Structures are given as C-alpha cells and as structure tokens.
C-alpha cells in the first residue's frame, strides 16, 4: 500500500487523542543503525545488571521488521502520568509516580487495541501488526524520538517539550505505510541537574545509566538482598525512583494526567510512614491489586522498606 493520504494521517492522530493518548507520532520501520552500537556497548559493560533478558533478541531490538513481517511503520504513543497530587506524609516511604494508579501495561495495551481496531475498520481493512508497551524487545524511547515525540535526555528518559518525562510509551508496528514525522532537536543544553541529583551514581555520565546502581532497578527488578554499599543513599524510595526526573526542569511545569485509570487507590497517597512499615500482606494486595507495584511482590516491598529504614 502506498502512503495513505494526509487526511487519514490526521484522522489517526485525532482518534489517538480521543482515546486518551497524550501524544502520537509516526516513524518509518527500519533498522536502528544509530542505536545499535550504543546498545551493544551498554550490554557489553553489563550495565543491564540482573536484567538478563536484555541480552536476548538483540537483532529484533534494532530491527522491527524481524518482529513484524511486512512492517512499514512504527506508531508511537505517549500517556502522561503526572499525578494530580503526591503522597501526603513527607516522611513516608516513596513510590515512583508511574505506579500510583493502574498498571500502565494494561491501560496502554487496551487503548492501542482500540486504535488498531479503528484503523482496520475505518482506514485500512488489510491492517496487520503487533502492539507493544515495555513488553517485548522494542526500543521504546528510540522509536518515540524518531517519531518526533521528544528527545532522549541525559537521564536516559524520553523528554517531551510539553509533557516532560513523566510519560509512558507504547507502539504499534504495522504494515500501514505512514508518512513519518520528523525528530526534534535535543534540548538539554548544558544542564546536568539529573546527573548531579542521582545519589548512587547510576547516572555516571550524560546519557549513560548503570542499572547496577539504579534505585529503580534495585527496588523492583533486583531479587537478592540490596548491596550494603547503598545504605543511606535511597532517599526513602521504596519502589522505583523519580529523583532524576524531579531534578529535570522540563518536568517542573508538567500538567497533571487526564487518564482516570492512573488515579491512585484513595488510601494510597495518605499512607503514613507507620502505615507503610506495618503493612500486612492482605493490605498490600488490597492497595496494589491492579498496580505495577505487584511486580516486586510483598516480600520485595518489605525488603525495600527494611533497607531504607535501617
């Protein structure tokens, strides 16, 4: 199929916004030559820490045509998750903002499916493709940047000029031939607030992250005991970490999310320090029933709480 008309191009974008996506962009499905060497270097230096799955399917990570036969375009979408209000107790263990509400994997996948169904029914009946959100060997941030949705900041997060970096990313890799959007210029300039703010040195240079030292990795993905070398450095983060994002000027005026699924459990932001440390497994399951916090499990959360409280 030749490139669809500009009218359909615009219709897809309007439908995406109607479905609750905060931004959408298109990129040509092609080999990510620019990202291949940095990814290989990152893996060779073992900066992926215990995330062994990052070593798998290298070719697919840099070439979407190996994931989806006949792929012509990558549709990238963003959903803003900036919360309307933060945790109330300043002394309470902290939770990464993205985990306040419902697990984003389900929220974004559901919306992507609705968008896919719309395109297939309204624009291109022969539509084929796959939907992803941090769930397959796809370089989400690279594709979002290629689609003009922002740039990769020095903290390695995608930064959107209006939404900042508190966004979640999804993709549709498809056989639909779409006119690609143009990438935008990196706009971090001389700022390195994120690097200076990182308490563990995980951000050891611009655009360089060592997951072995990252609080987000250590409190979520890491399954063993947290190394003693990080004692006193977690700044009360019990699940994930937003330190490098809090330091970023592009987030200082970010507007709150409009996504109702990201509304936290009514009790969550009111939990006190005592509530967190005395939390039972039953209470954990109640509060985080549909949350990404389930990933660390009750035993993992208790490990984290013990580590930051010692």
Mark the ranges of the chain whose per-residue pLDDT is less than 50.
Answer: 1
pLDDT in tens, 244-259: 999 999 999 999 999 9
Q: How confident is the model at residue 6, as a pLDDT?
A: 81
Q: Where are the domains of the chain?
A: 6-82+102-174, 193-309
Distance CA(173)–CA(159), nearest Å, equals 22
Q: How confident is the model at residue 135, as a pLDDT?
A: 80
DSSP lists the bridge partners of residue 95 as: 239
Q: What pTM did the predictor assign? A: 0.95
Q: How confident is the model at residue 2, as a pLDDT?
A: 52
Q: How confident is the model at residue 1, as a pLDDT?
A: 45
Q: How confident is the model at residue 5, as a pLDDT?
A: 74
| C-alpha distances in Å from residue 306, one per residue of 200, 226, 294 | 18, 10, 18
**Is 134 annotated in the active site?**
yes
Q: How confident is the model at residue 3, as a pLDDT?
A: 64
From 63, 89, 128, 134, active-site residue? 134
Give the 3-state secondary structure of the chain: CCCCCHHHHHHHHHHHHHCCCCEEEEEECCCCHHHHHHHHHHHHCCCCCCCHHHHCCHHHHHCHHHCCCCCCEEEEEEEECCCCCCCCCCCCCEECHHHCCCCHHHHHHHHHHHHHHHHHHHCCCCCCEEEECCCCCCCHHHHHHHCCCCEECCCCCEEECCCECCEEEEEEEECCCCCCCCCCCCCCCCCCHHHHHCCCCCEEECCEECHHHCHHHHHHCCCCCCCHHHCCCCCCEEECCCHHHHCCHHHCCCCCCCCHHHCCCCCHHHCCHHHHHCCCHHHHHHHCCCCHHHHHHHHHHHHHHHHHHC
Distance CA(26)–CA(95), nearest Å, equals 32
Neighbour tally for 253: CB within 10 Å: 8
């Amino acid at each position: 199929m030749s490139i669809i008309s500009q009218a359909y191009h615009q219709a897809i974008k309007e439908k995406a916004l109607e479905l609750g996506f905060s931004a959408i962009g298109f990129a040509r499905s092609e080999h990510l030559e620019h990202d291949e060497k940095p990814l290989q270097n990152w893996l060779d230096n073992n900066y992926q820490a215990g995330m062994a799955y990052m070593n798998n399917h290298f070719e697919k990570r840099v070439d979407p045509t190996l994931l989806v036969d006949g792929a012509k375009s990558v549709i990238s979408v963003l959903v803003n998750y900036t919360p309307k209000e933060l945790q109330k107790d300043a002394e309470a263990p902290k939770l990464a903002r993205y985990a306040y509400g419902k697990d984003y994997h389900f929220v974004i996948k559901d919306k992507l499916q609705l968008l896919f169904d719309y395109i297939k029914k309204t624009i291109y009946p022969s539509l084929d493709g796959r939907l992803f959100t941090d769930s397959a060997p796809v370089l989400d941030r690279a594709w979002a940047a290629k689609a003009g949705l922002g740039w990769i900041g020095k903290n390695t997060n995608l930064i959107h000029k209006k939404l900042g970096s508190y966004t979640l990313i999804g993709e549709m890799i498809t056989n639909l031939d779409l006119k690609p959007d143009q990438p935008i210029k990196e706009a971090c300039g001389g700022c390195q607030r994120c690097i200076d703010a990182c308490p563990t040195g995980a951000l050891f240079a611009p655009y360089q992250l060592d997951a072995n030292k990252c609080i987000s990795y250590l409190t979520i993905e890491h399954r063993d005991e947290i190394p003693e070398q990080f004692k006193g450095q977690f700044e009360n983060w019990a699940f994930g970490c937003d330190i490098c994002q809090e330091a970023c000027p592009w987030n200082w005026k970010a507007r709150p999310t409009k996504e109702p699924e990201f509304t936290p459990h009514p009790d969550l932001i009111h939990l006190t320090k005592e509530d967190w440390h005395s939390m039972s497994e039953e209470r954990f399951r109640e509060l985080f029933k549909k949350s990404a916090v389930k990933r660390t499990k009750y035993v993992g959360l208790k490990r984290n709480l013990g580590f930051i409280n010692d």
